[in-house]
């Protein structure tokens, strides 16, 4: 239980740091948020819990493919905001689009040999 609490606390600290830095320096906050820190932490926790080469390789490869459908959200939300859409609606639309792109990746990816 302590291990789970440590993982959650460390992950939460990263989010808090990003939020605080972004208040003053949005670009630097975006840079920190774009770093694959959560992915790297996830890999470390996974390796510690299950040090299996094939499982880790599959996890990292799937992470790469699932990053791609999330990228349009980071262009769509600022475009919506700059064109008068409220933050909450822009966020909702961005998340809905991302879910649609994830669904498409899950449906289409295996047809191209991707193991997701």
Q: Tell me: the pLDDT tens digits for 20-30?
A: 999 999 999 99
32, 74: one domain:
no
State yes or no: pLDDT of 50 exceeds 90: yes
57, 21: one domain:
no
State yes or no: pLDDT of 48 exceeds 90: yes
Quick check: is 19 in a domain? yes
57, 96: one domain:
yes
pLDDT for res 52: 97
pTM: 0.78
Q: What angle do CA 37, 77, 70 make, to 5 degrees?
A: 45
Number of domains observed in the structure of the chain: 2
The Cα–Cα gap between 85 and 37 comes to 30
Quick check: is 43 in a domain? no
Pull the structure tokens for residue 111.
Answer: 């047809």
The Cα–Cα gap between 79 and 84 comes to 9
State yes or no: pLDDT of 14 exceeds 90: no
Quick check: is 13 in a domain? yes
Q: Answer yes or no: are the C-beta atoms of 105 and 68 closer than 8 Å.
A: yes
The range of the structural domain enclosing residue 111 comes to 52-116
Quick check: is 42 in a domain? no
The Cα–Cα gap between 116 and 105 comes to 9
pLDDT per residue as tens digits for the range 91-112: 999 999 999 999 999 999 999 9
61, 97: one domain:
yes
68, 26: one domain:
no
Quick check: is 45 in a domain? no
């Amino acid at each position: 239980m302590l291990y789970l609490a440590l993982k959650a606390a460390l992950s939460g600290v990263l989010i808090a740091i990003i939020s605080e830095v972004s208040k003053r320096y949005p670009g630097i906050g975006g840079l920190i948020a774009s770093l694959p820190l959560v992915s790297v932490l996830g890999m470390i926790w996974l390796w510690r819990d299950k040090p299996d080469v094939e499982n880790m390789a599959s996890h990292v490869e799937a992470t790469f493919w699932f990053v791609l459908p999330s990228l349009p959200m980071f262009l769509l939300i600022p475009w919506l905001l700059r064109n008068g859409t409220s933050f909450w609606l822009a966020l909702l639309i961005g998340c809905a689009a991302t879910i649609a792109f994830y669904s498409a990746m899950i449906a289409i990816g295996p047809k191209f040999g991707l193991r997701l």
